[in-house]
Structure formats: C-alpha cells, structure tokens
Structure 1
Amino acid sequence: MARRFQAALMAALLAFGAAHAAMPNIAADVPGARVAGQGGFTWFGMKIYDARLWVGDAGYVPDAPFALELRYARTLSGARIAEASAGQMEKTGGGTPAQRAAWLNQMRAIFPDVKEGSSITGVFLPGGAVRFHLDGADLGTIAEPGFAQAFAGIWLSPRTTAPRLREALLKEAARR
C-alpha cells in the first residue's frame, strides 16, 4: 500500500513539474525560461483560454525575450483569433489603423484554427519579432515595427481590457 502511494505521489509530482517545464520552442529562445504567472480568460462566463507568461533570467523586460502561451478551452477559427487580437490592439492603443490592418492580414495568414487543448505560443524576440507556434510547431514570424509591443499589450499593457489576467501574468515577473 505504501509503495502504491509513493508511486502515485511521484507520478503526480513529475506531472506537475512537466506542466511547468518550458517547451523546447520556448526554452530555445528564452534562456532560463520559467512561468512568471498564469491565469484564465473568460468572456460572458465562457472560458476561452488559459494564459502563461514565460520569462528568462532578466524577468519581464520588454526588450528581453519572453513568451506568452495561450491554451484554448474551446474551438475557434484562426481568423476569429486574428480579428479579436486586432480589436484588442485597438482598445489598448497599439499601432495605427493602417498598421493594425496590415497586422490583421499577417495574423490571419499565420493563426490556425484551434480546438480545446490547442496551444498557441508567441515568443517575443529582441528587436521586435514575434515567432508563433502551435503546440510547439512553427507557424511563422511577424517582424513588423511596433507589432510585438502592440500584441503583448493585449495582455501586459496597463491599458489591457483584462487587468486581473495582467496582474496574474506579471505576478512573479521580476528579475531573479
């Protein structure tokens, strides 16, 4: 009986550790990647996704690499994700109308349809590029001026429409 309990406890601890280990696509670009914070996003009571902010040794610093991971709780089209992202950029003051229109076209080309359990990760690289992944597989990169700041601002700007999620994501984002 004690051995079964120990085995179950060990399995649970390993599973918990794996859930917080950076995927290779994050670890490759964010040295020392760790979860700074996480939280869920709901819309009219419906859970849309869980978000995690991954930071490196420097913590959350906009010019240091970091990653935002969204694990979806429902099926959504890539076009809808792109449109919602552009709308949130507008609400947070990200970019000009012309920039947002160009970014929307790029996001529509990159963002895939997702189902429950799918994860899209944006890895924010020094210099302003964002490399996107679906469940670890490369989707493409957007390297337009201002895009990275506007896209990250959806979650991390003081002007975000989801301030509780922002607070949860930045909970342990300081340098270590």
Structure 2
Amino acid sequence: MKLIHVTLLFITLTLSAYVNANGFKTVGEAKMEYLFWDVYDAKLETPTGSYEFGEHPVKLTLTYLRNFDAKDIVKATNEQWLHLGLVDMVNTYDEKLLALWPNIKKNDSLSFETNPQGIGTFYFNNDKLGVVEDKKFADHFLAIWLSSDTSEPSLRKQLIGGKHD
C-alpha cells in the first residue's frame, strides 16, 4: 500500500512539474528594432495561447540582441509609462527593478510571468530574480508592450497574434 501511495505521489509531482514547465503556449512573437538596431526578440505566452489584456497568467520574454545596463532598461520603462500616461508609475519602482534586474548581455533573456492573481515574477535566463507583489505593477508593466496605446503598435499586433482591438 505504501508503494502505491509513493508511486501516486511521484506521478502527481512529475505531472505537476511537466504542466508548470510546459503550461504556456505561444500567443505571438516579434522583433523590436530601433532605427537600424535589433534590440530584442519578444515572445508572449499564455496557458491557452490567446491573450486578453488584464487576464492572467501571462508570460512575456525578451531575449536581448545587444548589451544593456539595468539602469537603461529602468529608464526606458519609465519613458514608456510616461508615453502611456501612467505618470504615477514613473520612478515608483526604480529601486525595486534596479535591485532585481542585472545588466544584460547579448542573448540574455528577461521574462515576466504572472500568476492567476496577476502577481508578477521576473526571471533572468530562466532563473528566478524576484517577485513584485503588486497587481497594478503587472498590468502596467505589460501595458508597455500590450496596451492598445503602446508606442510600438506593430510589435503589439505580432505579440497578440495579429488580432485587432
């Protein structure tokens, strides 16, 4: 009887790990370019393979094609929040993000994954960096790429699978 319980526990844990590792399906992918530079490749994933703004969980992965200092990524994040009119977000998370994000080298990836409650976790090359325990942060951070008011509408369109609003 113990062997059956141990076997069932093992199967349950193995299936759980498989679902967690493979639970996301690609919604869309895009390349961010600025003037004549390739900046990063972006990939949006959800459990269903479709996306609606504000629904969670979601995973956005940026694979950088150039080197960037963390402070420059924080600065760009604030500039995008200004563009979106999210003035209350500007500079609010600078310390937290600078503590989480490393300097980026070419081919490094930075991922942001939310849980079903909308709380987000950052990953660097698939290693957990830390959590931002604020649903407002998750939605506003993702808005940089996924809001209909993004500064990069063609990138957004590719990420959300070519759908229109």
Q: TM-score by structure 1 length?
A: 0.75
Structure 1 portions without partners, runs of 5+:
1-24
RMSD of aligned Cα (Å): 2.1
Give 2:28's match in structure 1, choosing from 23, 37, 40.
37
What percentage of residue pairs aligned between the two structures are identical?
A: 26
The one-letter code of the counterpart of 1:66 is V
- Partner Cα separation in structure 2 for residue 156 and residue 145 of structure 1: 16
Q: What is the rounded CA distance, in whole Å, between the counterparts of 1:157 and 1:59 in structure 2?
A: 15
CA distance in 2 between counterparts of 1:121 and 1:68 reads 6
2:99 to 65, 90, 109: 109
- 1:47 match: secondary structure: strand
5+ long unaligned stretches in structure 2:
1-16
Question: Equivalent of 2:113, from 118, 123, 133?
Answer: 123
Go from structure 1 to structure 2 and tell me whether the alpha carbon gap of 1:65 and 1:145 turns closer, same or farther (over 3 Å shift): closer
Return the match for 2:154 from 152, 161, 164.
Answer: 164
Q: Which moved more, 1:87-96 or 1:43-52?
A: 87-96
The aligned residue for residue 57 of structure 1 is 48
SS of the residue aligned with 2:91? helix
Would the aligned equivalents of 2:27 and 2:49 in 1 still touch at CA under 8 Å?
A: no
Quote the offset at 1:89 in angstroms.
1.5
TM-score by length of structure 2 reads 0.80
1:45 deviates by 1.5
Q: Which residue of 2 aligns with 1:152?
A: 142
Over 3 Å counting, the alpha-carbon distance change for 1:170 and 1:145 in structure 2 is closer
